[in-house]
Each structure stands twice: as structure tokens, then as C-alpha cells.
Structure 1
């Protein structure tokens, strides 16, 4: 667990250095991607002040949420969304980052319990031309945004993306700039949106340079998944 705490401090320092290096006005939120890691590790980071955790598998995430005694934690669903898992996601999670088709929007509206309050929604933009990556085009993004905005139980917060992997900083920036431009275009219609979720362990510096407000870090915090 000492290694986990050391990793946490190193990642926080890495974020701060990127903010200073790229002259960014605000520090992005660190979302700890805890999928396939034990609740015990999550609680260690919670004791260090970490509040936001990301899960990619609905059932696994729900089990952790139900077992968690710290009710101040904020749970984000960040993985691909299967239609038959939307009810679980809508019932238990505070945020969903990976909404990339209208069917999911409608199911979230249907299944979000009123007592749970509004669910924070990010629309996933497709960047790059990788067939394996999910995401919506800009027109689809605007169509979904209109429905989310009109829903009484959803709260439109912004955009998320997962670009193709690359070790080239300039190429990383190209992907993230495309997401930033989509976010800014969406903001002309919905000026209240405030969240651009992009950047992971291998590319968070480029994401921060391009305006990310949330970086999703798993491996560099928790190590390799089991």
C-alpha cells in the first residue's frame, strides 16, 4: 500500500507540473480508474483525499459502491455501455462518461431514479479513425445533447474522448484539440457545460495542454490490473 500512496503523490505531482509547463489556468480533476482493483486500494486513496473513482464494468462497480462505507466518494462509469447494464449504471453511479448513442440516453432517462438526483452525463466523441474505439460524430453529439439537456433527471456536463494510443506528443495534441473544438462548439449552445474528460496515464500531459478538466488515470496509480 505504500507503493500505492507513492504512486498517488507522483501522479498528482505530474499533473501539477503539466499545468505549470503549459500555463494552464486550473488544475484538472484526477479520476482514479479503479476497475479490476480491490476496494481496499480505493479506501487507501480515499484516506489520502481522493474522492472520484472510475469503473468500466457495471456489476463490478455496483458491488464496490454497495460495499463502500465512505459515502462521500463520487463514482464515475467510464466504460462501454451495454443496453442491459444501463439500469445498474443509472441507479448507482453519479457520473457517466461514455454516452455515445441515443438509445443509451433514452435508457438513462427511463431508469435514473428520482431519489438519486440528476445524473451527470458526458457525451463520448469519436476521435481518430480506429474502428475499435466507440464514440459519436459531432452531429450525433448535438442530437444527444438536446435530449439530455431537456431531461429532468440528467445533467449535461460536457464531452469525453478516448483517442487511439500514440507516443507522439504532437499526434496526441491533434486528437485532444479535436475534442476541445467539439467541446467549445457544444458550449456555444449549452454555455453551462464545464467538463472535458480526456487524458490517461500515457498522454495526460498533452490532454492538459489542450484543455482537459478531468484526467482518467489507472495504471500509473494502481499498477497493472489483475
Structure 2
């Protein structure tokens, strides 16, 4: 029975590797989505990650700036090795200054205004912030993300910011019950990604797929998957 953080991490990494092998794709990078889980759980998973993948920096995804900041400060105060922080939730422009200081990656950039705010607030003495454009691939009402047709203009706006590094795309397709319909959305994301790569040399990341559809996303070319429940259990 998989009880320890390392057991859960090992099983998940093995399943991702197996899915990639079956589809003839490279194994994707894992982002452990730690939102609404305590900092103790993050610290335990970070330790397990370093044991399982020595030399690899653990990467954690958060939805809220304030929650992520509290966790980052707690881990830093404990004196542990560094981790990589990704914002995967919607970011309002008025919180761009906090996000630009805290996160290594923002995966949810969906407007020129937000890109400009992040670029303005990122310390020029630091490495550029890694940015993914969030795409509302299924045109769901009320869901954040730019329209697929807006990707080229938004990408150009990000690339024009010296303090930002355009790395690729992120999407959360509609949670349709039919796997093939989800796979079709992932395929459309891959087409957008391939097109973007022809225009911007630094683009290398397609973030899509979560606990229940990671295998489908990998088959369509995801280079990063975002998994929370399989690692941390249900959220409170």
C-alpha cells in the first residue's frame, strides 16, 4: 500500500514514464499542485522528491499568491534546499508585484495587461520570470484564459518584456466525460504549441493534463503535467 510521500511520488513518476513510453513521447515534467495543502505536506514531498530524483529541483503549483507566499517563507525559514514555485491560478493585475517577486513561473498569463504588469514588477537583477499563456481551449464561459486566436498577439506582448521569458502554453480543457473529446482538445493545444514554437525560439513547455487525464495529455504531447490529489490526497 502506498502510504509515504515517496511511495506516492514513485508510483506517479512510474505511471507518467509508462504513459510516455506507450505513446512514444518523452516523459513529461511533473508539477506537484500543492494548493490548499499544508506546508508540512509540501516539505515532506520536497524531501521525497530529492530522494527519488537527486539533483532535480522539486516544483510546486499554487493557485493563490498569499498562500504560496506563506509556504515559501516557511520553507525558507526552515533552511531547506530551494524549490521552484509555479502560479497556476488566475492572477489579477493588482497582485502582479507580489507574484513577480515570489514565483519562478506564472502559468496563467491571459492578457497583455497582466504580462505588462509582471514585466514591470519583476526585478531586473533576477532571471526572467518564466511565463505560460493560459488558453481557454474549449471557449468555456466564465473560464479564464485567452482565446486560441489571441495567442500570437499575447505571445508577442510577453516576448517584448525583457523581464519575462515566454516558455509556452497551459490549458485546462472542459471536464468532458468522454475521453476522446478531451483528447481532441489536447490535440488542438498541441497544434497551437507547435505553431508558437516556430515563432519564438524559447518555447518548450506545454502544460496540460491533471490526475484524471494526464495519460491522454501525454499522448498528445504534454511536456508538463499538473498533479495534486494523487500526491497529496483530497484537499480540505
Q: Shorter-normalised TM-score: what interval?
A: over 0.9
Does the CA-based 8 Å contact 1:91-1:116 persist in structure 2?
no
Does the CA-based 8 Å contact 1:167-1:202 persist in structure 2?
no
Are 2:194 and 1:187 aligned?
A: no
| Matching residue of 2:61 | 54
User: Which ranges of 4 or more aligned residues in structure 1 deviate by more than 6 Å?
Assistant: none
| Matching residue of 2:163 | 153
| Matching residue of 1:170 | 180
| Matching residue of 1:64 | 71
> Separation in 2 of the partners of 1:124 and 1:196?
10
Does the CA-based 8 Å contact 2:135-2:145 persist in structure 1?
yes
Are 2:87 and 1:87 aligned?
A: no
TM-score by length of 1: 0.94
Distance of aligned partners of 1:119 and 1:184 in 2 relative to their CA distance in 1, 3 Å threshold: same
Displacement after TM superposition at 1:7 (Å): 2.1
> Separation in 2 of the partners of 1:73 and 1:139?
34
| Matching residue of 1:115 | 125
**Local SS of the residue matching 2:15:** helix
| Matching residue of 1:102 | 112
For structure 1, which segment, 80-89 or 5-14, has the greater mean C-alpha deviation from structure 2 after superposition? 5-14
Are 2:235 and 1:225 aligned?
A: yes
**Local SS of the residue matching 1:109:** helix
CA RMSD, aligned part only? 1.5
Displacement after TM superposition at 1:71 (Å): 4.2
1:124-143 deviation digits (Å, cap 9, x = unpaired): 11111321321112332111
> Separation in 2 of the partners of 1:82 and 1:188?
30
Task: List gaps (5 residues or longer) in structure 1.
Answer: none
TM-score by length of 2: 0.91
Task: List gaps (5 residues or longer) in structure 2.
Answer: 51-57
1:97-123 deviation digits (Å, cap 9, x = unpaired): 000111101110111112332000000
Equivalent pairs counted in the alignment come to 225
| Matching residue of 1:200 | 210
Are 2:115 and 1:128 aligned?
A: no
**Local SS of the residue matching 1:36:** coil
**Local SS of the residue matching 1:134:** coil
Distance of aligned partners of 1:71 and 1:5 in 2 relative to their CA distance in 1, 3 Å threshold: closer
> Separation in 1 of the partners of 2:174 and 2:181?
10
For structure 1, which segment, 167-176 or 117-126, has the greater mean C-alpha deviation from structure 2 after superposition? 167-176
1:132-176 deviation digits (Å, cap 9, x = unpaired): 321112332111211211211100100000101133221111010
Displacement after TM superposition at 1:95 (Å): 0.2
Does the CA-based 8 Å contact 2:112-2:158 persist in structure 1?
no
